[in-house]
Amino acid sequence: MKVTLEKEKDNVVKLNITIPAQDAVNAYNVAVKRISQYVNIDGFRKGKAPRQVVERHVGVERIKHEAIEALMPKAINDAVTENNLDIITQPYITSYEFDLGKDLQVIARAELRPEVTLGEYKNLNLKVPDAVIPEDAQEKSIQALLNQHAVFEIVTDRPAKNTDTVVIDFEGVCDGEKIKGGDAKNYSLDLGNSNFIPGFAEQIAGKNLNDEFEINVTFPEQYHDEKLKGRPAVFKIKINEIKEKKIPELNDEFAQKAGPFKTVDDLKADIQKYLESQRERSNKLNSETEVFKTVIDASKVDIPETMVEREIESLKAEYKQRFAAQGLDWENIVKAQGEDTLNKSMHEEAVARIKNSLVIDKIAKNENLKLEPKDLETKFNELAAAYGMQTKDLIQQIGRNTQVLASISQQAMNDKVRDYLMANNNVEITEPAKK
C-alpha cells in the first residue's frame, strides 16, 4: 500500500491511498463469495453461484463497494499510524477508481486536530478577591432553617393575608376561550412567593374562605405562549382553604430539634463553620477558574467552522433534552429567546468548549500527563456519589457505552490538568474591592 498526503484548508488532510492490484482482486473475490452466501439466485444454492452470475445479479459496483469497505479500515488505520496523523474525525472516502487488474486508487479525507499555541501556563502569579461571608449570612441561614421547620395552621376567622398559603380552584379564560393548562383543583399557592401571572396572587389576598370570585390579569409580553402574550384574561377563583405559616421561636429547644445541638450557640457555631467551608470552596473554585481563564486567553488556536458546527449540534441536542425534562418545548424556547440570539449564544459556547478541550489536551501532551487507573476510579466514585449509586453498579451500567466512557475519561483528564495548573501557579486571595 502507498499513501500520499495533501494538506487542504481548515485542517483537512487528503489521503491518496493506492492498494496493489492483487490485494484489490483478492478483496473483490472475497466480496463475491460473501455476497453469494446471503442473496437468493435462482438455480443455485447460497454460496455456490459463479462469480459472473453474482455480478449479473447484484451488480459489479455493489461488489466493488463491499470490497472497498473491507479493505479501507486497515488501510486507513495504517495510513494514520504511519504518518502520525492526529485526527479528530473518522476518515471518509470521497472517491475511488477500481478497475480489476489495476491498482485500486482511493481518496479519503479527515480533519486534523487544530494546532494549539500555548501562552504562559506555569509560574503565573494571580490574584483572586476573597469570597467573604456577608454580614447577614448567618442570620439568613437561621431564618431559612426556621422556615423549614414552620407549620401551617388552618385559618377560618379572617381574610387571607399576602403571607398566607391558600388552596384554590381556578379556571382561566382568554378571549372567551378556556386557557389550555389554565385550570386546577385544590392548588396550593403561597401568596407571598407566587410565580403566577403578575396580579394573580395579589387579588386573592383579602378574600375569605369559600369565597368565589373573578380576577382580571394580563399575561406578560414575554410569556412563552404566543397566543397569550400581552393578552388580558379572567380567572374564576374559589378559596377552599387558608393556611397561616407559623415560624418556631429560636431557642435551645428548637436547636435540639434541628440537629445534634444543645444550645442556640451550638447551632450558630455549626452554621458559621458551614459558611466558612463554603467560603473556602468558593475561593478554591474561583482560583481554578482564574488560572484556567488566564491560560485559555493566552492560548491561540484556529478552530475550523466544521468543528464548531458539530459542537453546536451536540449542544442543541443537550439543550433539547434538558428542556424536555423540564416540560418545555424547544420551539417555544427558540421563539422566546429569538433564533439569532440563541444561535449566537450556542456558537460562542461551542467555540469556548472546543478551545478549552484543545488547550487541555495540549498541556497534557506537553507535560506527559496520562490517565492512570486511580484517576478513573476517583471520577467513577465522584459520579456514583452524585447519582446516589454504588460505584460498581455505575461502572456496570455505563461500561458498554463507549461515548459515555470517552466523556468520563475526558473529565478525568480535565481534572488532572486542572490539578497540574493549580500546583504550578500561584494564586493570592486578596481583599475584595470596596464598593
State residue 275 phi and psi, 5-degree precision. Answer: -60, -40
State the Cα–Cα distance between residues 425 and 122, nearest whole angstrom: 6
On whether the pTM is more than 0.75, the answer is: no
CB 233 within 8 A of CB 194: no
State the Cα–Cα distance between residues 118 and 295, nearest whole angstrom: 8
Which regions of the chain carry the CATH code 1.10.3120.10? 271-430
Q: How long is the chain?
A: 435
State the Cα–Cα distance between residues 195 and 208, nearest whole angstrom: 22
Which regions of the chain carry the CATH code 3.30.70.1050? 2-113
Q: With a cut of 70, list the residues of the chain below it in pLDDT.
A: 399, 435
Cα separation values, 67 from 16, 22, 25, 73, 97, Å: 18, 13, 9, 11, 13
Listed in sequence order, the residues at least 6 apart from 85 whose beta carbon sits closer than 8 Å to its beta carbon are 5, 13, 79, 110, 112
Determine the pLDDT at residue 435: 64
Determine the pLDDT at residue 155: 94
* All cell numbers assigned to 64: 466493488
177-190 vs 426-430, strand pairing mode: unpaired
State the Cα–Cα distance between residues 84 and 79, nearest whole angstrom: 8
* All cell numbers assigned to 192: 407571598
Top-level class of domain 2-113:
alpha beta
Selecting from 1.10.3120.10, 1.10.150.120, 3.40.50.150, 3.10.450.50, what CATH number does the domain 271-430 have?
Answer: 1.10.3120.10
Nearest one of 305, 310, 368, 396 to 12, comparing CA atoms? 305
State residue 111 phi and psi, 5-degree precision. Answer: -90, 135
Determine the pLDDT at residue 387: 83
Domain 151-246: which topology? Answer: Chitinase A; domain 3 (3.10.50)
Which regions of the chain carry the CATH code 3.10.50.40? 151-246
pLDDT in tens, 264-314: 999 999 999 999 999 999 999 999 999 999 999 999 998 988 889 989 998
Nearest one of 121, 228, 120 to 173, comparing CA atoms? 228
